[in-house]
Structures are given as C-alpha cells and as structure tokens.
Amino acid sequence: MTPAEESQATRRVPARRGRGGALRGEIIDAATRLTATTGDASKVTLRAVAREVGVAATSIYLHFDTINALVDEVKRCRFQELGDALNAAADAAGHDPVLRVKARAFAYIRYGQDHPGEYAIMFTANLQTPSGIYPRPPQTVDALTQLAADIGHARPGGQDLDETQAMLFAFHIWTSLHGTVMLRLARPALPWPDVDTQLEDLVDHLLRAAPAEERRHSAGT
C-alpha cells in the first residue's frame, strides 16, 4: 500500500452506529475475492483484506480476531448461500419429491456456474490455514440431509428408502453434481450435452436404481 493509500484507508469515516454489520459484510466479501484469487487461505492476511476493503487493519480486528476466524466465516456464508438457493428451488417445486430432488440439482449446478469464484473457495481452494484449522461448515451436512429426505420418498412405485440408503444416494448425486460443475468449468470447450437434459437423466437413473440390498435379495443371495 502506498503512503497515499494508507492515509486514505486510515481516514475512512468510521461506521455510524448500526453500520458495523455493513463493514463486516464488506470484509467477508473482500476475503472471498482474495481467497478465490490466490486459491490458498494461508496467503491471505487480515492486512491484505484491510487494503482490499480500504480500511485500517485495526478495523478488521473489531470483527475478526484471526485470519482463521475470517476464513471460517467466508466458507460458512458461501455454504449458507448455496443451501438457501437449494431450499428455495425445492420449495418452488412443490411437494413432489422427485421434482424437489431435480430442483435442488438444477439449483446446485446454476450456483456453481454463476459463482465460480465462490465455488472454488468452498471446494477447490486450499483453505488449510497456518494454524492447521480446516473449517467444515455444518451447512454441508444440512444440505445432504435435506436432499436425502426428498430422495427417501422419491423412489418409483412409492417404496421409500431408509435413512442410510437415502443418504448414500444423496452422496451419489452430490458427487455427480460436483463433478459436473468442475468439469464444465475446467473444460468448457468439450461437446457437453444440454445441462438440464444431463441432470434429468442423472437423477432419473439414480432414482430408478435399486439399492444393493434389494438387488442381492432379488438374486436370492
């Protein structure tokens, strides 16, 4: 930071009463951008975030004591944002469990394609911080649990899956969705099929597949 920039940051007008939340949001957004650019949280410092926001470093400490705490909040916010998008899509789809599963899948892909930087922070950036803390937001488990709940009631013929089977299918779908986002971002020139058609086919195939226990029983093993 040049002396002029440092002076400008230092002279920034303090947040008015009730505006501290706005600055906190700016800090999180700045940390998101920096982490997405470097791909490594260990290279992001509170001082660098302060420069990005345009405030003195001491202003950052009013909201986050350490870079670990800030990185944890960045991930939490992005997972919350994704989870909210999935839930909104499922709610808009109504009560049919198959349509709810598909709506979540479509919303997931859209988020990854529309927010590649944020998605990189959540899944591909090295977020191992200098102290060794690796944040794991609970929103990940929440999203899987909600997807599994819909999957449990989405089998053709009305036969529900038990909780363990539904969660296994949820992991299968998540793995496929993540691969779809990452491969399309990494290799956009490939002759990809229409993404909606691809997701329809993926979900239909998975929901039609019988769990391993049912296949073994049918085979008499």
97, 46: one domain: no
pLDDT at residue 175, rounded to an integer = 93
pLDDT at residue 75, rounded to an integer = 82
Taking each helix axis from N to C end, the angle separating 46-53 and 3-10, rounded to the nearest 10 degrees, works out to 80
pLDDT at residue 156, rounded to an integer = 64
Number of domains in the chain: 2
137, 95: one domain: yes
Rounded to whole angstroms, how far apart are CA atoms 45 and 27? 12
pLDDT, tens only, 140-195: 778 888 999 998 888 766 667 888 888 988 999 999 999 999 999 889 999 999 99
Query: Could you tell me the CATH number of the domain that includes residue 45?
Result: 1.10.10
Q: Is residue 173 within 8 Å of residue 147, measured between CB atoms?
A: yes
59, 115: one domain: no
- Higher local confidence (pLDDT), 118 or 62: 62
At residue 126, the 3 state secondary structure works out as: strand
Mean pLDDT, residues 79-87 = 91
Of the pLDDT bands very low, low, confident and very high (cuts 50, 70, 90), residue 121 is: confident
2, 100: one domain: no
94, 39: one domain: no
Query: Could you tell me the CATH number of the domain that includes residue 218?
Result: 1.10.357.10
pLDDT at residue 196, rounded to an integer = 92
pLDDT, tens only, 2-17: 444 444 444 444 444 4
Q: Is residue 34 within 8 Å of residue 48, measured between CB atoms?
A: yes
42, 146: one domain: no
pLDDT, tens only, 24-66: 999 999 998 888 777 677 778 899 999 999 999 889 989 998 8
155, 197: one domain: yes
35, 90: one domain: no
Q: Is the pLDDT of residue 87 over 90?
A: yes
13, 92: one domain: no
Report CA-CA distances (Å) from 218 to 159, 166, 211.
15, 20, 11
Can you give the residue range of the structural domain that contains 207?
Answer: 74-221
Last residue of a domain, one of 65, 89, 118: 65
DSSP code per residue over 21-54 = HHHHHHHHHHHHHHHHHHSBGGG--HHHHHHHHT
